[in-house]
Amino acid sequence: MARHSKGDVSYNCGLDAAVDVVGGKWKPLILWALHDGTYRFGELRRQVDGVTEKVLVQQLRELETDGIVHREVYGEVPPRVEYSLTPRGQALNTALTPLGEWGAAHMEWILDVKSRSRSVA
């Protein structure tokens, strides 16, 4: 496998690069919520059950830096900020759809395996 590098960033393959962008517990859920459209911060937080405000801010900033999420700030009082997917973010969500389908199709098996492994630990 050819290694791809630029500056101090390096990837073994396309999957390695994609996982770097979407990795973690919350980013895929944020992307999935934004698939439905544009949300203000509070609305998005309600869509992503269990995420803290601090973590949501951090993850949104990373996704914005990576060009996956667009942050629109309106010059209003009170301030209004909306988040949406960029075209690249929409393409990433399209790529995640089969993964979500696999998870849904295997949910019971995953629950069984994970609950067994946690009860042993």
What is the C-alpha separation between 94 and 35, in angstroms, rounded? 9
The stretch 69-93 carries a mean pLDDT of: 96
User: Which range marks the domain in which residue 35 is found?
Assistant: 4-120
In this predicted structure, what is the pLDDT of residue 117? 81
Number of domains in the chain: 1
pLDDT for residue 118 is more than 90: no
Q: Assign residue 103 the CATH number of its domain.
A: 1.10.10.10
pTM to 2 decimal places: 0.86
Q: What is the pLDDT of residues 36-71, one digit of tens each?
A: 999 999 999 999 999 999 999 999 999 999 999 999
